[in-house]
Every structure is written in C-alpha cells, then in structure tokens.
Structure 1
Amino acid sequence: MHSRENLSGPCGERPEMPRLSSMLRPREMMAVALAIGVVGGAIVSAAEPVTFEKHVRPILKTHCFLCHGESGVAKGKLDLRLRRWLVRGGESGAAIVAGQPDESYLVDRIALGEMPPGEKRLAAEEIEVIRKWIAAGAVTARPEPETIEGGNYLSEEDRSFWSFQPVRRPAVPAIRNSHQLRTPIDAFLLKRLEERGLSMSDPATRAVLIRRVTFDLVGLPPTPEQVRQFVEDQEPGAWQRLVQRLMASPRYGERWGRHWLDAAGYADSEGYSDEDRIRPSAFRFRDYVIRSFNEDRPFDKFVVQQLAGDELVPPPGQTLSPEQIEALAATGFLRMAPDGTGSGGVVAVVARNEVVADTIRIVSTSLLGLTVGCARCHDHRYDPISQADYYRIRAIFEPALDPKNWRTPDGRKLSLYTDSDRAEKKRIEAEAVKVDQEKKKKTEFYITRTLEEELLLVPEGVRKPLRTAYRLASGKRSDEQKTLLKKYPSVANISAGSLYLYDRRRDVRAGKLDAERKQKEKRFLAETRKANPGVKVTAANLAKLNPRAAAELEADRKTAIRLRSEKAAADLKTFAARAEEIRARIPSEGFLRALTEVPGKVPATFVFYRGDHQQPQQKVEPGELSVVNLHAPVKLPVNDKAVPTTGRRLAYARHLVSGRHPLVARVIVNRIWMHHFGRGLVSSPGDFGVLGERPTHPGLLDWLADEFVRSGWQIKRLHRLILDSWAFRQSSSRTLELDRIDPDNLLLGRMSIRRLESEALRDAILAISGSMNPGMYGEPVSVMEDAVGQIVLGKENLDGERKPTKTIDLEGEQFRRSLYVQVRRTRPLGVLETFDVPVMTPNCSKRSSSNVAPQSLMLMNSDFVIEYSQRLARRVETEAGPDRRSQVLRAWQLAYGVDPDPAVVSDLLAFVERQSEAFGKVVAKNDGATPPQRAMASLCQALLSANRFLYVD
C-alpha cells in the first residue's frame, strides 16, 4: 500500500508551467538538493566535512531503510541505520571500508544499479555524496547510540530541525528606517530589507487600500460610495475604523471561514469513488465555522471543539441542547474525509481504513503542518516521523473511527428534533392516521365491490368456492383453491394496487353497456311500433308506450354511469393526498453529521506492516510524535475514566493548544499571513518538514506565534496587527532594484498583486451586478450537469432514461455567495473550476493561481458572464438614467470603485457607440434589448474581464 499524501504543492493545479519542485518526485527533489549543495536544509560548502548523520543517513533513509533497518528483519542481516552497523555489515560482509569507497560493497551495489531493487535508483549526486563520505573516513558527527530503542532513532539533525524547536519570542529588531515602522512586524521585515540595502515601498493610495482590505476581509468589492467615504475621511483612525467595520460584517465569517474550510477539506459529497454520493448535513459544519469566525471564537477553543467537541458535552440523547449542537457540529471537521463506506461496490475494510488515513492527513496538514500520512507504510522518508508515530496518532482517533466497529455515514447521523417537534409530529401523525384508516376501509369496500362484480362474470357454480378461496390468506389455501384461483385470474388478481386496472375494465364494460343499450333501444322501438300501429313511437314516448322496456334501458344507462364514475383508484388517491397534505405540516427533521465514540468500546491499535491492515504487528497506545514529545511531552490517556469517552482526542486537542506545542501556533499564524499577503512566511503551509520551504523570516514567525498565544488565540487581533503594518499598506509598485535583488518578493519590499480566487471572482460579479442573495447558512445550492456536460447551478430532474425534463426553479438560491454552492468532489461548478477552485483530495493547504487561456475564453463566452454583464448593464441604466456618459461612469465606478480618467471616458463612449452601431446592423436577439442596451452589456462584460477587475493590488 502506498500513501496518497499531498506533500506541499498547491491544490487544484491547472495546466501551466509548474515550478521545479512540482515537476519532481520526492526522490528527484532530494537529488537536486544534493546537486546544488542543499541537504536537509543545510548548505554544504566545499570545505564542510561530509558526515553520516547530516548527509548520508537521509539518503539511506529514503532509499534503503525499508528493507535494511525498519522492517523488523533486515534483509541479508544488513542494518544501515548506524555507521558502525555498515562497517559490521551483513551476510555479504562489511558494507563499507572507511577511506576506500572503491572497496566498499555498498558503493559497488548502488553504482551498478543493483540496489535498491526495482526501478528506483540513487541519483549520481547521491552516490557521489556517499563516496566522498567513505573516502573521508566515513566519519560521524558525534558518538552513536548503543542501540535504537523501539526501532526509532532521532538524530541530532532530526531533533534540531527548525519547526520542532519550541517557539521562543525573539526581541524586536532595531532598524534605521523608522519612518516605515508602524508595528513590530515592520521591524522584522525592514531588518532583512536593510541588510540588502532596501526598504519597503511607499504607501498605496486610499482607493487601492480599501479595495485590497475589503476583498481581504470580506471577499467582496467595496461600493463606490464606500470608496469615496474612505478616501475623503481625513480624521485620525480612518483605517482602523474601516478594518473594524469590515471585521464586524457577517461577510467576514464567510470569507475567512472559506479559508479554514479548505484546510479542513470541506465537501458536500463523499468522494472516494466515481459515485461521489451527496453528503447531507455537511453544511452544518460549514455554518459552525462561519459563526466561529464572526464571533471571533478563540482559536484554541475552535481547535478543541473540532477535535473533541463530543467529549466536551454530555453524550447525545434524544434531544440535543444548543451547547451539544454547537460542539457536535464542530466535530464535522473529523467527518470531512472522503468516505465511501456507505456506497456499494467497495471493499469495506479498505474503505474504512482510507477514511481514517485521510482524517489523519487533514488533521496533520491543517494543524501540524506535517505530512504525517507519509509514515503510514514505513518511516517517513524525510521527516523524523516513524511508522510507530503514525499509528500512535491513529490510536487517538480510532475509538471514534474503529474499522472493526464501523458506522457508515447514515449510521452516525444525530437528529436535531426537539421535544416540541416530536409532540407536534405525534399530533399531526395521529390526524393523518385517521385518514389512512378511512382509506383502508374504503379500499376494502372497493375490493369487495370488485370481487362481487367479477364473480358475476364466472359460472354460478364456482362463485361461492371462488369467493372463499380469495378471502383466505395465501398460506392457508388448499391445492384445489389455488388451482381454482389460477383458473380465474380476474378474481385472483384483485388487490389495492390493481384496482386501477379494474377501473379500466369497468370503463370497457360501461362502453359495452352503452353499445348494447343502443341496440336494445332500436329493438324496443321496433317492437313497440309493431304493437302500436299508427302511433309515432320515439325514444321520448317509449316510457309511456312500453314502460318495461324504458325501465330496462334506464337501468342500463345508470349502470354505465356508475361504472364510469365510481373509480376506486381516483377516490383512494384523494385519501392519500389528504394524508400527504396533513403530514406535510410535520416539522422537518434536521440532522448533524458528527463524530462520536461508542461508549465502552476501546479498540486496540496496531502498526500495520507496510500499511497493510491484514498484517497487524506491535500494539501501540495513543501518543504524540516522538520528535515533538522531546520538547512538549504529553501522556495521553488510553481510557480516561473521568469522561464517558476514552478522552484521547480531548487530551490531544488540549495539548495542541497548550502553547507549548512547537507547530500549531506557527502553522496557524502562517496561514493567516498567507491569506493576507498571498504567500506564507513558510510558503508550504501544509508542510513544515524537510521537503517544505524554510521560513523567510523565522524570527517574525515565532514572534507572531508567541503573540498569538499570549493574546488568547484571537484571530481578529492578529488581523489588526497585520493590517496596521506598513507592510500590508504599502504599494505594489515594482522597481528595477527590487526586482533585481528580490524578484520573488520574498523580503516583502512591496505588496504582491494577487488574482481573485474563484469564489471571490464569482461573488464580485454577483455583487456589482446587484444580483447577490445575502442569505446565510443552510442547505447548499445544488449543482448539475447541463446538456453539454458543463457543471452549472441547478437541480437534476431526470426521466427514466436519465434525460433532463422540466427545469426546477431555484427561487433565487442561484444568487447566493459561492461559499454556499454545493462542493462536489467530482463535479465542481464550471466557473469556479476554471479559476482554480481546489479539489478536496482530501483537503487543500494552498491554492494554485493559474493564468491560462480557458479563463479568458470563459470570461468572453460563458453564459454566466454574459448573463451578469446584462444584469450589470440594466443596473447601470436604472441608477444612471438614459444619459450615455452617466451610464459609462457608473459602470466603471461599480466595477472598480473609482471614477475613470477623462481620456478613458472618451474611449469607453466610443466603444459603446461602435458596438451600438454594430448591433443595429444584425438581427436582434429575442431578448427585448435595444442595440444601445446590448452595447452597454458588452462594455460591462469587458470591464468584468479586465485585469483591473480580476486582480487586487
């Protein structure tokens, strides 16, 4: 089995020229690192001695340890984990001869490509490092341990890796350029800039700043009126008031909640297989996240609730309290992993273990910033995470995700019904049952009537035994009775479900009666004329002249009417409709998708040999990663008797946010920084390990992490600290000097220009066109495949052949923010997918931001952009009136928040004039729009497609 860990690349990448690191597999990345002199994050200079611990062991760990050291029984009795064991060798003798690489068996085997087995080979640079080490005497940096306890050896290099060190608050640096110093953040940034002879850029204009911070905090564009108000507000504290207003908006929670939902792997479908079943009630976790950000819930509490909300409240009973609902909704975080266990056609035990593995991936990348999942099958090839560590982490979650006592998604639902809901349901159901009983009586009446009518059509001698046979239960009928019923199927087949067929038979019989009555009437008229010569006999006076004949004809007429009118099926449908109408008043029952433990069941956790669940080996108890335990030791309970659950997740969650953990605070402040600046201080937010990027400003990262914890884990306070800085408010203007010294803007000498994310782009179009539905929370807006295979908003309404039928009105739901659009893992909304909405497999630590042709094509041709361009044009006409210049000004203001330059206005007017003339020469569409109106829609589409709209500077 192989790990599906997504190391550190961005999510949802589209075809584009990738970075070097995204083109290379981990082995190749290590080879490149060795070739350019970077190993394990340390620079290898020509004069630096090559040591086993720092340079050689990482190579052997990557390629050789699985067979020669980690598997319990070393192949060929050769263990390569310590230098002296290489000298000792195995069945083939010594693996190395110090000072003599050409005489060393290890070099011989790897140089010939005989080891490692399979297609993987060591890179030439890696082999050269090993040769140099042996030639220099095969030295170690320090004395080696006598043994490797528990099979897990942490070298000094492992222990001293930057991200595993305790967070220590550094002193704020002293700087020369103090006029750019607004917060301690600026001091850390300026320190590095000054070392390169640089400084930060001049402040951005107020119009630029309000657009930047409004998209940053609420994910929407500012209105022209808001821009004007801020630009004209010269009172002290205008910026702080703007920031406070935006953070107080409910749209803030939607914007920043979306960021966390990426890390949590939020989806409204189960994934795992192509079936990708809908995941009902997942939205309650989404809503919990939005509320948490709007309430500025301390992040430590936020983490504890998500990891162990069920352990904070009493076990769920018949009715949940508001406190229970909140805490249990939070555990949806641990239910976000793809889950195919409720689908058919899957190997159940494999699917269950994948859910556990993906849950660990989500937790570790989002909170720890580590690819712990890479240690599922063997020790992590790069980070100091053993396979035993992985299963100790698994043991924390296994009581709630126990493959041997598994609960499918439907089996984990918790009802949100209240006592009053149940009482109301009981009352309404009793009312409906009365109608059901009436229907039952009426059904029996119709069955009896039909039976007697059908018996009249069979020989008189069999009517009584046939009636008796029909009325007997099928299991009590004799063979003779069964034979009799088989002979007369028109009687045997009478049932509530077949009454509609007998209604049709009654129609046929009524038709026959009508035809027979007409023949009778002719015969009776003829007989009566013969009996009354000289008298004019007609149907009108037949009753007077031949009462018996007239009575017989009238009886036949009434019988035909009765046969046609007394339709059993139609009558019974009215009862069913009445009962359905009554039951429609029953309060709808909502559910929570929560994680809970089964009381009293404490599963054992075993290390799986090479990740194979069918090969369990040593038993492990819940615990922290060994390398973290060195600085932040914790003893997790196996079964805490003080709580109804095992207490494992609660203890672990509290440990993570204790302030002593080296990773969590760093990871969170790095994520916050990333969403403000477009790149984290560590640009691999889900990987703080060896293959991840190193922090550009390690002192600033630690200062922010410490400040975050000291301030009570308050996200909004961290926002203010960052947004008040000169760094955030500086211009994005480039200079030749900055581009030469810092082309990637790692030193933050300017603000980086960023393209709007997919959701922010769609939401901005909704907002400025005046179409946005401001409704919050609740069921997601469903998506469907249209006639040409695109994924659009809509509800599928398919016939028996799965062909689309009548369109279902979304009743304004299609205008909601993108956050509320259904997240289908295999069917992302087309407009969002084009602009890099991430695919949750299982989560997303860092989004990609591509610049590809399909994006331009979508902006030019998609029905979505065309429709909302027309909506914007109609809004412009309403607000600006009929004057063309006023319309152009208003369109520009709505799109960009500011007034256009006079020269631009002239260009825009000329464009609209040309478009209007062009539209006047072609056959108009059947949309009621005039050529000038269509021209204005074209202008609006051009404004929405421009970089000025797509990017924030």
Structure 2
Amino acid sequence: MIDMNRRILSLLVLISAVTLAAPAQANPANRQAFVRYFGKYLAQGLNSCGTCHVRDHAEGAESLDDFPHNPFGNQLRETADKLLEQKQDADLALRLKLIADQDADGDGFTNLQEVLSGTAPGDKTKFPAADSKKKLEQLTAEFNEFQNRYAWKPFKPVHRPEVPVVADLNWPRNPIDQFIAAGHEQKGLKRAAEASPEVLLRRVYLDLIGLNPTPEEIRAFLEDAKTNDKAYEAVVDRLLNHPAYGERWGRHWMDVWRYSDWAGYKDALRVSQRHIWHWRDWIIESLNADKSYDQMLTEMLAADELKPDDWDTLRATGFLARNYHAERDQWMDDVVKHTSQTFLGITVGCAKCHDHMYDPIKQTEYYQMRAIFEPYHVRTDRVEGVLDVSKNGIPRAYDRSLTSKTWFLEAGDERRPVKDKSIPPGVPEFLGGKYEVEPVSLPLVASQPARREFVKQDLLDQAKETMEQAKAPEQRAAAESALAVLEAQFAIEAMEVAGDKKSDAWKTAAQNLVKLQREAAIEAAQWELTSAIKQEEQATTALKKAEKGKKKSSISKAKQQLKKAEQAHKAAETQLKKAEDAAKEKLTTKYSPRKQSKYPESSTGRRLAFARWLTNRQNPLTARVAMNHIWLRHFGQPIVPTVNEYGGNGREPTHPALLDWLAAEFMDRDWSMKEMHRLIVTSATYRMAGTGAPENHAIDPDNLFLWKKSARRMEGEIVRDNLLYIPGRLDAAMGGPDIDNHQAQDSRRKSIYLRHAHEKLVEFVQIFDGPSVSECYMRETSVQPHQALALANSKLTFLASEALASQIEEKTTGDMDAFIEEAYLRILSRRPDEVEHQLCREYLLASVKAEGSQPTRDQYEKLITVLFNHNDFVTIR
C-alpha cells in the first residue's frame, strides 16, 4: 500500500499540468484541500491519493486511464460536474459536505463515517468495526462542531462577518474586542486587566513612532488622564500625525517590500539600483500623508503608467527597480515570486516548473504573470539641479519593449522554451476578477525626459557656468557658441512639439541652427588647437629639462608625452580644417538634434491592469494580507501565522472572522492605514496588561487567543534610535541619500537612513535580528549573549550615557533621588519601585568617600549604562 501511494504521488507530480486543467480531476491541490477539510480528524492512512483513486495494473499507473477514480472519487467527480453545470463553485469542501451522508462503496457506512473511522470510503472490503457505532457518533458530533467554526476561505472575496455577541458587554471598546472576547469565552480564558498608564503610553509611542515618550510627555499624560477619559485617544491622534510615524511604519513595510540599497561595486550594478533611497523617501512621505494602501500598491507597480509625468510619484516604482538582476530570468523569477507573496500571500513562483502542488495555480499561469512584467526595465531619470545621474537620479520602471514575448519553459528550464506560441499576460484564474489591459499613451516628457523644463534649465545653467569660468578668449568663444546652439535647439524643439515643422519659420530656424552649429564647431576646434599647442610647448620644455637631468626614465617619459602632444596638435588642426570647410557649404535644414535618451511613446498597460485587479474589492487576498501584516506589528504575532503563504501549504488563522472583518473595514475606510492603526491601538485588546491569570497558561500557553498583551523585543533599528533620541543626540532630519553603514556608531541620523544592502549592513541592527535583504516578511527574534555585549560596549551606549548623565545631573542639581527617578523616566518610561530605587542608591553611594559628598559623574554614567542594558529598555510591554 505504501509503495502504491508513493507511485501514485509520483505520477501526480508528473501529470499535474494535465490534471489541473480539469476541476473534477485529481491533483495535489485537491489532495491538500481534502487534508485541510478534515484537519485533525483525517487518519494518516487516508492522507493519500489512493483514497479517491485506484490503479489498474499491479506494476503501477502509467497514465490517467490507468489511474481511475474509485466509487468515492467518482461521487466527488460527478458532484463537481453537476455543480459546474449549474454554474456553481465546485469547491472540494462543498462537494465533501454534499456527499458526506452518502455511501459510495455500499458497505453500509456513510462516507463521513468511514473517513472518521480511518477506513477507505471507496473500498467496500474495508469498513468500520461493528462495535464502533458509539465512537463514530461522538466523532461525528465533534467533527460537525469543527466544521461549524467560521469558514476560513482566503481565496473567496472578503465578506464582512457578523460581530459576535459576548457576555461581558463592558469590556469591548470596539468590534475587535468582541471577536477576541468570543475566543476568551469559548476557551475559558480570563483576560488581563488594562495596562498601567505608563506602560500603555510607552507601548503606543514605540509602536507608532518608535521613540520613547519623554518624562514631560509622561507627566502630562498622567495629569490629563485624571480628568479626560479621552486622553489616550488624543495621544494616539498626535502620534499618527507625528513625522516619525512614517519612518517607523516605513521600516515595517520596507521589510515586506524587500527594500535594499544599491549593492554594486564601482560602476557595477548588483541587485537594486543607485539612489533607490528615493523610493524609501516616497514610502515615508506616503505613510505620513496617509496615502491609501491601494493607491500605494498601484503606484509601486505602475506609477509610470498611471502618472507618467509626475516625478514624485514615479519614485514609487523603486519597488520594481529594486528587483533588478543582471540575469533576466532571475529578475523575472524574483518579481513574480515576491510580488505574489508580498501582496497576495501566495507562492506563484512554485508553479514555474509544474502545476502548483498545493494551490490551484497552473504552470501556464506562472508564465502569464511573468508576462505582466516581461516588458518592463529600469532607467534612471534626472532630478532637478543634477545632470549626472551617477550622482543623483530617480531609478524607475518603464516598459522598454512593447513586443516582448514570454515563452513557456519546459519544467521551468530556461534552456527549453516552447516557442510555438507566446504566453499572454494574465492572473491566476482561481482568484477571480477581471484582468483587462489597455495600452497607455505617454506624454513627451515621459518618452523624452530631457525635454522637461528643469532639465533644459539645468543644461542652460551648466553652459552659462562653463562660459563664465572660461579663462582664455578662445575657450570663452567656444562656450558662447555652445550656449547659442543649445538655445536654438530648444527653440526648434518647441516649434516641432507645437506641430510647426516644415513651415517657412521652421526652415529659417533650422538653417540658423545649422549655421550656429557650424560656427560652434569652428570655435570648439580652435580652442582644441590652442590647448594642443600649449600642451606641445609644455611637453617640449619638459623634454629639455629631462635631457639636462640625463635620467633615461624621465627622458623616455617626456618623449612619450611630447609625441602624444604632437599627435593631438595634428588632430586639432585637421578638425579645425574640417569645421572650416563645412562652414563654407550651402546652408541646409539638416541640423544635429540635441543628444538625449528616447524611450517608447506608449506603455503596455499590463502592470496598471494588474494593480487594478489586485486592489479591486473583489480580490480575496490583498486586504487580508495587508491587515495581517499590520496586526503582526502591533501584537508581535500575526493572525495568519504564515504571512506570505495563505495557500494549502500555509497555516490556518487563529481568528479568521476577525481578519475578514478587519479586511472589510480596511476597504470600507478607503484603505486608510492610519484609521486601522487608530482602531487597533484604541481597542481593549491592545490596552491589556502583559500579565494575566496563571491558569490561562494551561489552556493557551502561547497566548494565541490574546488573553494578555505579549511583550516583544524592540527591533534593532529602534534600539539604536532610542540610544540617540533619549539623550537628545538624534538628528531628526528626514530623507536623503543612504548613509554609509560603517558610520552607524557615529551618525546621529535614524537607522532607516543607514545603508541596507547585501554585504553592507549595520552590524548593531543585525545583532538585534535586523531584516534580511533577500526577504523579510516576518522578522525572527532571538536572545543571544552578543546582544547584551553590543548594548553594553557600543560607542552609541557610551555617548548616550555620557550625554544623558550630564543632562540629568544638571537638571536635578545634585539631588540623587531625583536623578534616579528622572533616569528611569527617560530610559524606561516609568518610575523605579522601592527595591529598584534602593539598589540604585546603594550603587551610587558605594563610590562616595566622605559623608555628605555626591556620587561622581562616572558613577552616574555607569548607572545610566546599566539602565540602557535593562530588559525593560529593549522590550515593548
């Protein structure tokens, strides 16, 4: 039996491309759906293709004809056919439910009874034991209860579930709490009380802006809360409008969207692009402006098709520019793989070589999705004030080829393309929706970006500066001629854009431009000749000097330089003669146009169509995936544990109804992330303390049902940021080029602005489980000795302790008790308890030599260092 199952599974892998084309056929996705439907009630022996199929030959199946359905499989197939005839969904779970009470093999037991008892429902020779009736009744009741739970259907459009009614009507602050409370009641959990005001305030500060509240902010909040029951809500509103909100949540989304700075060396490009930081700044600015999530997705995928002349918005396509890879196939693999996991939470990349093993994604659909991105490439457009794109520029996506083909690859092998027919762009059919492509006409400044006004002005300014800096008369004359040519080129370009081409005015302008270009060529050649003559004279003088010195190596070098100078002199004379002869020819209208990059005048519209399909309300996954990420970063644990895998190989959510409700609410609130943050952090669930009833540990040891607020460790970025912020050393400047990662101990800028790329990581951040460059859909948290060593011995901690001790000592004017309290408030956002206060006093007084004297500055600094190494400093409680 085991051998047969192995052979059957091997066959299914080989024929999956065929079987997925027919919904009623067997395939790995159906098998996975079968397993998920029965869950823990499925016996191991029935987790097999043989549950629905038989083989005709003892040596094994060689084709689908040799691998027919057994009676149970036939029932499933026939039920699917009937549903499809009625234009209904042939979902396997529905089919299993419809035939549960039927007896496929005629052995006197229903299909459900046989599955629950672990006997084959399609084999009449195998049936439950005669004395198993009572046990089967119990199992059936339990299974029915299991099936009556909220149906998690991630591949179906989001429908807002009913908010559950709970016994305790006083606890919930909003519907989130009712979903959580329902779980408490079902599991018999006693939830924690509300967190203390100090703990709650620090929690929401770190969650929303990544910075500690100051002692002044803590005291103000505690005072306000005495008389204002909305004091906390007012804090939330203020934090959501704080500039640091965009930086804090920008880093979260940069994890998910795989932000990476340029990882090249010298002129080489290796993953990502130069100046990709423009995309990072766009992310931060968009979040602070509360740009809707659906709009952000659309702009990241297709800003060049949506707003082709808006250079601020074009920064968003850094999402696509970041995927750059020198190997085109690898590039396309990455963009398909990560776009699907990032926004849809499905592993389309698994279907490159064969039909997906767990989800109903055909191999052809992988190539359809690749075809969406096949035409695009990356370029760098100029920014105002900088003509050299190696120094600054906006890396952005554009469709380079409007006729690019996508070929089906046999077994995913790039060496074996099937070129009978190219694959059209498309999306996985099982997710529904309409993918409708319309080509996009682009404005002139998109296809010819050097036509933009600021670029023209920068070129004029450069030409004028060259003229003003000219030292020799010939050099100035050449610069003046070049400026005149440039101005004339701009003038004739304007005429042509206006449609005035081949008119008398145009012909006059064109002839004038030809005349100016000929004159400029003479002036440039004359300056080249003057320079060459001067260089020859200098080389001659250098040779004479070398000959006097009689050093052979110097003489040889001087002769070589003179030879080069003579050749340059001769070439300059030739060029001048050529320019003078050209100037004598009859004037024509064949002017030389300005050298500039030209790109296609239209775009395929494929990516814009994909973005619109992705953000349509009927798309089942986009809102669910986004809300799961947001929830994860507020609670330290996601609702769907596998944040980038919602398919058959993923894990089921802890609160499926809550996630669906959040997704529906998210879309109803116009995809506003700030609105959802506000809803979450003002909930009673979020406001719970971190400790609860001890008996809960036996019921839910991992706190999956949120009977308390689990503590979590700060990310490395905000550990570093607070080491700067708390002592007032942080430079709050926003945006700009990435800062060398080796400057992390000296730079006062936030961690989000430090370089993050392959082999160019901030060591301090990585010690605290910083994000992987390749992908980081959810960070792992570790506890390791070198984290404490880094925090105790880093230059950042030393400078923070020095600065903070000085500030607090000056503020408290020698009052040791006040110093201790202020230090706790600044670093841990709370006052010390009696034991902690006494321990601090004893430590400080241990250094005092004479009665009545004060602790030394060194002792105060060491106490500050100890508090920076306190577990409460690196923990969000």
Question: Which category describes the TM-score, using the shorter chain as reference length?
Answer: 0.5 to 0.7
Q: Deviations over 1:131-187 (max 9, x none)?
A: 957756799xxxxxxxxxxxxxxxxxxxx9721112111111111100011101111
1:768 and 1:872 in contact (8 A); partners too: yes
Distance across 2 between alignment mates of 1:760 and 1:666: 27
Matched position secondary structure for 1:167: coil
Residue 878 (structure 1) shift: 3.4
Instruction: Tell me which residue corresponds to 1:258.
Output: 251
Distance 2:558 2:706 in 1: 88
The answer on 1:176 being equivalent to 2:167 is: yes
Return the TM-score normalized by structure 2.
0.64
Alignment partner of 2:559 out of 484, 492, 501: 492
SS in 2 for 1:679: coil
- Aligned equivalents of 1:703, 1:852: Cα separation in 2: 38
Name 1:834's counterpart in structure 2: 767
Among 25, 39, 46, the residue aligned to 1:43 = 39
Compute the displacement of 1:749 (Å).
1.3
Name the CA shift for 1:291/1:882 in 2 (closer, same or farther; >3 Å).
same
RMSD (Å) for aligned C-alpha atoms = 4.2
How far residue 835 of structure 1 moved from its aligned partner, in angstroms, is 0.5
CA distance in 2, matches of 1:80, 1:831: 61
The residue that corresponds to 1:205 in the other structure is 196
How far has the Cα of 1:916 moved from its partner? 6.8
Q: Which amino acid aligns with 2:370?
A: R
> One-letter code of the match for 2:678?
R
Query: Residue in 2 aligned with 1:871?
Result: 803
1:395 matched to which residue of 2? Answer: 371
Residues 653-662 or 684-693, more deviating? 684-693
2:386 corresponds to 1:385: no
Structure 2 residue corresponding to 1:165, chosen from 156, 160, 167: 156
Partner residue, 1:599? 600
The question of whether the paired residues in 1 share the 8 Å contact of 2:845 and 2:855 is answered with no
Which residue number corresponds to residue 603 of structure 1? none
Distance 1:844 1:693 in 2: 18
Please, which runs of 5 or more residues in structure 2 have no aligned partner?
Answer: 1-27, 75-116, 128-150, 380-388, 397-448, 476-526, 567-596
Contact 1:913 1:935 in 2 (8 A): no
Q: How do 1:605-684 residues align onto structure 2 when only pairs under 5 Å count?
A: 644-684=602-642
Whether the 8 Å contact between 1:443 and 1:496 is mirrored in structure 2 is: no
* Contact 2:45/2:118 (<8 A) preserved: no
Deviation at 1:490, TM superposition (A): 7.2
Match for residue 770 of structure 1?
Answer: 728
Shift in CA distance, 54/178, structure 1 to aligned 2, threshold 3 Å: farther
When residues 391 and 871 of structure 1 are mapped into structure 2, their CA distance, relative to the original with a 3 A threshold, is same
Q: 1:699 to 1:487 in 2, by over 3 A?
A: closer
Contact kept, 8 Å, 2:346 with 2:647, in 1: the verdict is: yes
**What CA distance in whole angstroms lies between the structure 1 residues aligned with 2:765 and 2:52?**
46
Aligned to 1:847: 779
**Counterpart position of 2:594:** none
Alignment correspondent of 1:688: 646
Q: 227, 230, 236: which is aligned to 2:229? A: 236
Is the alpha carbon distance of 1:86 and 1:240 closer, same or farther for their aligned partners in structure 2, counting shifts above 3 Å?
closer
Shift of 1:271: 7.5
Q: How far did residue 420 of structure 1 move?
A: 2.7
Deviation at 1:867?
3.3
Q: How far, CA to CA, are the matches of 2:641 and 2:753 in structure 1?
A: 28
Cα deviation code 1:813-839 (max 9, x no counterpart): x01111111102223211111100011
C-alpha deviation, 1:376, in angstroms:
1.9
> CA contact under 8 A between 2:721 and 2:730: conserved in structure 1?
yes
Matches within 5 A, 1:33-432: 39-40=35-36, 42-45=38-41, 50=46, 76-77=62-63, 83=69, 162-233=153-224, 234-270=227-263, 279-314=273-308, 323=310, 325-337=311-323, 339-341=324-326, 351-401=327-377, 413=395, 418-432=455-469
1:935 aligns with one of 859, 862, 874: 859
Q: What's 1:580 paired with?
A: none
Q: Relative to 1, partners in 2 of residues 1:75 and 1:230: Cα closer, same or farther, differing over 3 Å?
A: same
CA distance in 1, matches of 2:51, 2:675: 43
CA deviation vs aligned residue, 1:521-545 (integer Å, no higher than 9, x gap) = xxxxxxxxxxxxxxxxxxxxxxxxx
Amino acid at match of 2:636: G
Deviations 1:664-690 (A, max 9, x none): 011111111111111111122111112
Paired-residue identity, %? 32
How far apart in 2 are the matches of 1:665 and 1:908? Answer: 50
**How far apart, CA to CA, are the structure 1 residues paired with 2:215 and 2:314?**
42
Deviation at 1:313, TM superposition (A): 2.6
Q: Is the 8 A contact 1:370 1:689 kept in 2?
A: yes
| Alignment partner of 2:827 out of 891, 895, 900 | 895
Aligned partner of residue 201 in structure 1, secondary structure: coil
Match of 1:722?
A: 680
Specify the SS of the correspondent of 1:726: coil
Question: SS of the counterpart of 2:811?
Answer: helix
Q: Aligned-pair distance for 1:51?
A: 8.1
8 Å CA contact 1:78, 1:85 repeated in 2:
no
Letter in 2 for 1:301: Q
Distance (whole Å) between structure 1 residues aligned to residue 188 and residue 660 of structure 2: 24
Partner of 1:793: 744
CA 1:270–1:386 in structure 2 vs 1: closer, same or farther (change >3 Å)? farther
How many Å separate the matches in 2 of 1:727 and 1:486? Answer: 83
**CA–CA distance in 2 between the matches of 1:496 and 1:860?**
64
Q: Deviations over 1:438-458 (max 9, x none)?
A: 876653442344456678999
Structure 2 CA distance for partners of 1:46 and 1:846, relative to 1, 3 Å: closer
Question: Is 1:862 aligned to 2:794, yes or no?
Answer: yes
**Matched residues, number:** 623
Q: How far off its partner does 1:223 sit?
A: 0.5
1:491-530: per-residue Cα shift (whole Å, max 9, x none)? 633449999xxxxxxxxxxxxxxxxxxxxxxxxxxxxxxx
C-alpha spacing 1:771/1:42, structure 2 compared with 1 (3 Å): farther
> How far is the alpha carbon of 1:726 from its aligned partner?
0.8
Structure 1 letter corresponding to 2:328? R
Q: Is the 8 A contact 2:72 2:121 kept in 1?
A: no
8 Å Cα contact 2:184-2:190 kept in structure 1 = yes
Match 1:446 to one of 535, 538, 553: 538
Judged with a 3 Å threshold, the aligned counterparts in structure 2 of structure 1 residues 352 and 331 are, in CA distance, closer, same or farther, namely same
Partner of 2:79: none
Aligned-partner SS, 1:202: coil
Q: In the TM superposition, what whole-angstrom CA distance separates every residue of 1:862-881 from its partner, at most 9, and x where no partner exists?
A: 33333332232233233333
- The 8 Å contact of residues 56 and 130 in structure 1, kept in 2 or not, is answered as no
1:887 CA displacement: 2.6
User: Counterpart in 2 of 1:913?
Assistant: 845
Q: Which runs of 5+ in 1 are unaligned?
A: 1-29, 61-67, 69-73, 89-128, 140-159, 315-320, 342-350, 404-408, 459-484, 500-595, 601-643, 785-791, 795-811, 919-929
Report the CA distance shift for 1:133/1:840 in structure 2 as closer, same or farther (over 3 A): farther
Q: Distance in 2 between matches of 1:896 and 1:87?
A: 63
The higher radius of gyration belongs to 1
Matched position secondary structure for 2:640: coil
Quote the offset at 1:301 in angstroms.
0.8
1:190·1:199 contact (CA, 8 Å) conserved in 2?
no
Contact 1:599 1:645 in 2 (8 A): yes
Q: Aligned letter for 2:755?
A: Q
Tell which deviates more after alignment, 868-877 or 167-176.
Answer: 868-877
**What is the SS of the residue equivalent to 1:43?**
helix
Contact 1:486 1:492 in 2 (8 A): no
Deviation, 1:44, is 4.6
Using the size of structure 1 for normalisation, the TM-score is 0.59
Contact 2:321 2:395 survives alignment (8 Å): no
Q: CA deviation at 1:487?
A: 14
